[in-house]
Amino acid sequence: MTKDDKHPALSFITNQEIVLAAKQNLQQGTWGYLSGGSESETTLRRNRLAFDSLAFRPRSLVDVSKVNTSANVLGHDLRIPVVLAPIGSQQVFTPDGGAAATRAAHEFGVLDTISSVTEPSLEEIANVANNPKVYQLYLHGDWDWTKEMISRAEAAGYEALCITVDTARPSRRDRTLLARWSPRANFLGTAIANQHQVSGGPDGGGHAAKVTWDTIDRIRGFVKLPLMLKGIAIGEEALKAVEHGVDYIWVSNHGGRQLDHGLGTMDFLPEIVDAIGGRADIIVDGGVQRGSDVLKAIALGAKAVAIGKLQCWGLAAAGTVGLVRALEILEDEMISSMALLGVTSMAQLTPDYLARAPLVTMPHEMSGWVNIPDERIV
């Protein structure tokens, strides 16, 4: 890895420091957009609760002198089983936007998923680095527009298409509403004339509100790439997705940013694993903050986890270098936890290494980092 040895990001030794640096660099509205959820943020907290209530069952007297953290996703060997989740408006966290994230993915060795609502363009991001990339698409246009976007992604060399299915209508995110802030309009500090400006209007989300399984069938018949559905939250829908030709089930509740009062993703991951019976690979996101979180997700049947907030905290802290450093710390945590757990590869992780356990602290969105002063994160 070639980096400036004097870059301040290299002094970070925990991801707690990266979160604090990100908060220091961001204005209130931007911080709320990144770190908050919808309405009462119950789902946001349950994402962490689901991880925090899983305990390890370690094995001792195992030779763990060599630990392999790699995984294979979309036919590519990744350094760790981590995917960069699609994040809209990444340019509000770092000037290079999505290009900064894909540079970090290339440098470190993970898969990048590029949002259809971030800058720069999908073609510009594709040309930044020769690493495997997935294109994520919100279905905000008619069929001709959808075909055009898919064709552009295929022509630009993206290796899979990800359709987000849990955004039929924009959610109410109180942190950004209170800050009078929107990443789309970038009218930080100005008054919102009425709620329709942030809710999508009285008719809801337009084209997105009309997406059905027929839409997915139409896309499956048109796209030549592997197809992912992001936003699956129950086993029945996961099974239906497989029956409709979907290759990857992306288990997600949008990081607690869409429908509130849902379960944490790790609570419904086992249901989805059971429902599809190995007929598709699974990616899971929602509250991933520690290397131990990655191991828990793999043990319950995921092929990889996706990181959204942690990704953009790294970018906000120090751009590409900050994200690479966040991934390095995540990897080091994984290696430590694997050795102490008594496993040497991802394939060895099974549900037998986990047990349900009572919580010892009150969960919140930062419960992976209990040493962060409370006044710095609220």
Domain count, the chain: 1
> Does any domain span residue 48?
yes
295 half-sphere exposure, CB direction, 13 A CA radius: 33
> Does any domain span residue 30?
yes
pLDDT mean by block of 10 residues, the chain; 378 residues: 65 94 95 95 95 97 98 97 97 97 98 97 97 96 97 98 96 92 51 30 67 97 98 98 98 97 97 98 97 98 98 98 98 98 98 91 78 58
DSSP H helices, the chain, are 15-25, 28-35, 42-52, 98-108, 122-126, 143-155, 174-178, 196-199, 213-222, 235-243, 265-276, 291-299, 309-341
Return the closest-CA partner of residue 116 out of 144, 158, 82, 81: 158
pTM comes to 0.91
Annotation marks residue 254 as catalytic? yes
Please give the pLDDT value at position 125.
98
> Does any domain span residue 361?
no
CATH number at residue 20: 3.20.20.70
Residue range(s) defining the domain that contains residue 272:
15-55+66-355
> Does any domain span residue 239?
yes
The token pair at 118 is 């971030």
H or E segment and range at residue 311: helix 309-341
> Does any domain span residue 32?
yes
> Does any domain span residue 325?
yes
Choice among 196, 244, 254, 364 that is catalytic: 254
> Does any domain span residue 333?
yes
Please give the pLDDT value at position 266.
98
